[in-house]
Structure 1
Amino acid sequence: MSNLLLEPVFWFAVSFVLFFVIFGPKIWKPLAGMLDARADQIRVELDEAARLRREAEQMLEDATREREQAYAEASALIEQSRKQAEDLANKARLDAEDMLRRREQMAKDRIAAAERTALEDVRAAAVDAAFEGARLVMQQSIPAQTSTDLVDSAIAGLPTALSPRAA
């Protein structure tokens, strides 16, 4: 055993044990208090982190729900816009067809009016030509005195021919 008492490691171990036996309770309480305080602080931080995580998950769920709702609203709006565009296109097509029918009818009416005018002009020209031809024939075939007598008798018979009783 004498060898053991001469070893510095032995005395170091004895002093270490004695140090902790004498000062251990005085050091252990503050050290344990610091460790407990640190553990409590870590626990509080973990609780806060868990609460923040739950809030983040809730926010993510809310954002996802809002995004899906916005997507649904956008889809409905796009569909409604597409329907309105189709309705406007159909209305524009129908309006264009109606306008074309009206213009076609107006053109037909103008053509018919032009035909009537041309027909009246042709008839008037034919009447004028017939009167001129009759005048020339009468001028050449009836002597001048007879034509004067015919005109005088026609003028004299006008009141009788124009009176309502004669009809």
Structure 2
Amino acid sequence: MPHFLDFGHFYNLSNPELWVGIGLILFFAILVLAGVPKLVASVLDAKAVKIQSELDEAARLRAEAEALLAQIRAEKAEAEAQAAEMLRTAEVEARRLEAEAKVKLEESMARRQALAERRIEQAEVQAMAEVKASATDLAAKAAEQILAERLAGQKSDPLLDSAIAQLGTRLN
């Protein structure tokens, strides 16, 4: 047994350790009577409730964040799918527009070629008409000159002169 608990020494009223023990016991008794353990327990319980509510709030926020993350991932996947679909649609549209442009270009080239051929034909017809007109004028002048030379030795006939003058206009 420890030395301070000896019957003669510990329970001696002049022993300061006895009074410290009694004071300590009285202190604890006063604390119990004042309700300090209940107060400490209620403070600790309130703190525990507050911590639990914060944990519950954190769990709720985490669940909301996970749900939001899942929603964002789903929206991202949907947006990527829409972008891929839009890309496919744009490629199909580009191919269709390319084919239409090719057809329109071929049609335009065919129209221009036909127009050029018509202009060439018109130019040929006009050139032939001009050549015929020139040949007619030249032939009329040559005939007039030949007739004039033949008739130069002969006496002039007014009927023949008017026929020669009209020859150039009638051959055109």
Q: State TM-score, norm by structure 1.
A: 0.69
The reply on whether 1:48 has 2:61 as its aligned counterpart is no
Distance of 2:19 and 2:59 partners within structure 1:
51
Partner in structure 2 of residue 24 of structure 1: 32
1:59-79 C-alpha deviation (Å, 9 max, x unpaired): 111111112212222232233
Residue of structure 2 equivalent to 1:33: 42
Structure 1 unaligned residues grouped into runs of 5+: 155-167
Residue 114 of structure 2: which of 105, 109, 125 is its match? 105
Q: Structure 2: how far apart are the matches of 1:92 and 1:119?
A: 40
Relative to the length of structure 2, the TM-score reads 0.67
Q: Are residues 13 and 67 of structure 1, via their aligned partners in 2, closer, same or farther at CA, if it must alter by over 3 Å?
A: farther
Moved more, 107-116 or 68-77: 68-77
Q: Deviations over 1:71-101 (max 9, x none)?
A: 2222322332333334334333433332232
Relative distance call for 1:45 and 1:131 in structure 2 (3 A) is: same
Cα distance, 1:18 vs structure 2: 5.0
The CA distance in 2 between the partners of 1:11 and 1:77, in whole Å, is: 92
Which structure 2 segments of 5+ residues have no match? Answer: 1-5, 164-172
Per residue, is there more helix in 1 or in 2? 1
Q: How far is 1:117 from its partner?
A: 0.8
Deviation, structure 1 residue 54 = 0.7
Q: Which residue of 2 aligns with 1:137?
A: 146
* 1:125 alignment counterpart: 134
Stretch of structure 1 that moved more, 133-142 or 35-44: 133-142
Percent identity over the alignment is 33
May I ask how many residue pairs the two structures share in their alignment?
A: 151
User: Which residue is 1:77 aligned to?
Assistant: 86
